[in-house]
Amino acid sequence: MARILSILVGLFFTVALAWSFGKGAYTQITEPPAATAEHEFHLHPKELHLASDGPFGKFDKQQLQRGFQVYKEVCSACHSLSHVAFRDLEQLGYSEGQVKTIAAGFQVPGVDPTTGEANTRPGTATDYFPKPFANDIAARAANNNAIPPDLSLMAKARHDGAAYVYSLLTGFQAQPAELLKEFPDSKTPAGLHYNPYFANLNLAMAPPLTGDGQVEYGPGNPKPTVEQMSKDVSAFLVWTAEPKLEKRNQTGFAVVLFLIFATVLGYMSYRNIWAGKKH
Ligand code: HEC
């Protein structure tokens, strides 16, 4: 009886699965999804190789400092970095004094000690990066009705994060003629910018990096081309999203070594225990 019951239950699930698959395939054939510009012209991120890639990845601090410089001088006008405190920058190789100077260059929310009214004051090492806009309404008003997202976790929030940011920054271009021919209604609306790496192809962010040398790098660094600045700021955003990446890699490596050691030990004790026992 139990056997028949289990066969029936199994049969029920098999039929249900086959039915839903068949139905899906039928709709796909009879009503194929409409071709859209997003579907045909969206591109996957370009290749980007960073020192922090892979299980043995380490941060290239020189590059992170350059990336920070790009964030500070360009992106911070619109994007916050709310999860990062100024003192965290010491991990990039800045001294305590340099961190204090950097912090003091930002205005953070404060309170007037005599009246108790909200005001702003220069940042200190323990403050977090301030928001560039007072609130979302102000952010939208200044950015064509879009809010520039916080960048702290952007490298984790998007698939292929660092490569995506790099592609986005270097991907602004004119709308391809074929797109307009095929989808005349998909013209980039006024105030938006065509970028095939953005999911819906039209981005409210104007190209932030437009000219080589927009940020001046110190001696001993590569030329600040748009390409290089985009790579550097992407590398920096990998750090902001996961500052403990190196530590995680090291721990993972130690754990794997230990597991190999434990396996060898287990095998040896197994041999030892069964040594001399006849089959
Ligand atoms: C003038 C303001 C401005 C500046 C400067 C700016 N951005 Fe943006 N950014 C925006 C706005 C607005 C959006 C939202 C776009 C949208 O949703 O259409 C955005 C969106 C983004 C996104 C998210 C895209 C997504 O998938 O949602 C990333 C990543 C980004 N910016 C990176 C940067 C970097 C890196 C810099 C500095 C090199 C920078 N931005 C400078 C305004 C700006």
Whose C-alpha lies nearest to ligand 1, atom 3?
78
Whose C-alpha lies nearest to ligand 1, atom 13?
148
Distance between Cα 190 and ligand 1 center (Å): 17
Least confident residue range of 1-15, 30-44, 55-69, 192-206: 30-44
Say how many residues make up the chain: 279
Which residue from 78, 188, 197 has its CB within 8 A of the most atoms of ligand 1, so it is best to mutate? Answer: 78
User: Is the minimum distance from the CB of 140 to ligand 1 under 6 angstroms?
Assistant: no
Dihedral sign for Cα 83, 86, 87, 88, please. Answer: positive
- For the cut 70, the answer to whether the pLDDT of residue 43 exceeds it is yes
Instruction: Give the separation between CA 251 and CA 256, rounded to whole angstroms.
Output: 9
With b meaning 16 or more CB within 10 Å and e meaning fewer, what string describes 136-168? eeebeeebeeebbebbbbbbeebeebbbbbbbb
* Nearest C-alpha neighbor of 183 from the set 207, 201, 199: 201
User: Is the minimum distance from the CB of 45 to ligand 1 under 6 angstroms?
Assistant: no
Distance between Cα 104 and ligand 1 center (Å): 25
- The string of pLDDT tens digits covering residues 65-91 is 999 999 999 999 999 999 999 999 999
Average pLDDT, the chain: 95
Distance between Cα 77 and ligand 1 center (Å): 10
Is residue 148 within 8 Å of 205, Cβ to Cβ? yes
User: Is the minimum distance from the CB of 78 to ligand 1 under 6 angstroms?
Assistant: yes
User: Is the minimum distance from the CB of 193 to ligand 1 under 6 angstroms?
Assistant: no
- The string of pLDDT tens digits covering residues 230-253 is 999 999 999 999 999 999 999 999
Measured CA to CA in angstroms, residue 160 lies from 118, 166, 167, 199, 202 at distances of 40, 10, 10, 13, 20
Whose C-alpha lies nearest to ligand 1, atom 15?
204
Per-residue confidence band for 278, with pLDDT thresholds at 50, 70 and 90: confident
* CA 89 to chain CA centroid, nearest Å: 19
User: Is the minimum distance from the CB of 103 to ligand 1 under 6 angstroms?
Assistant: no
Measure the N-to-C terminal CA separation of the chain; round to a whole number of Å: 41
Distance between Cα 216 and ligand 1 center (Å): 21
